[in-house]
Amino acid sequence: MQLSVTATDLRRAGIDCHAPVPVGTSREIVHVRRVDSLSDLASGELGIVEDSFGWLAIVAGAAAAADRLGLVRADRVRLGDVER
């Protein structure tokens, strides 16, 4: 699930992207760790990866991250200091 933020954006917002990052949706709040590749994740585990253009994406091992989070197109996702 492509995000419209970079690691630089997270740092500017005071979010340590090397620690688990809180990710909030309208359904739940989860803590997601930064990984180098999908192979770093267990099946169904969520992670944040940086693509070759520097954009961040939420991914899931052997699954679709949007499905894992119960998201549909245009749902909002918040990173960092999230509240329900």
> pLDDT by residue (tens digit) across 19-28?
999 999 988 9
* Other Cβ atoms within 10 Å of 34 Cβ, number: 18
Confidence of residue 45 (pLDDT cuts 50, 70, 90): very high
Encode pLDDT of 55-70 as tens digits.
999 999 988 889 989 9
Rounded percentage of the chain residues whose pLDDT exceeds 90: 68
Taking the model in full, what pTM does it have?
A: 0.80
- Whether the predicted pLDDT of 84 surpasses 70: no
Q: For 2-79, which CATH class?
A: mainly beta
Helix, strand, coil abundance in the chain, percent, nearest 5 = 15, 35, 45
Confidence of residue 80 (pLDDT cuts 50, 70, 90): confident
Sequence spans of domains, the chain: 2-79
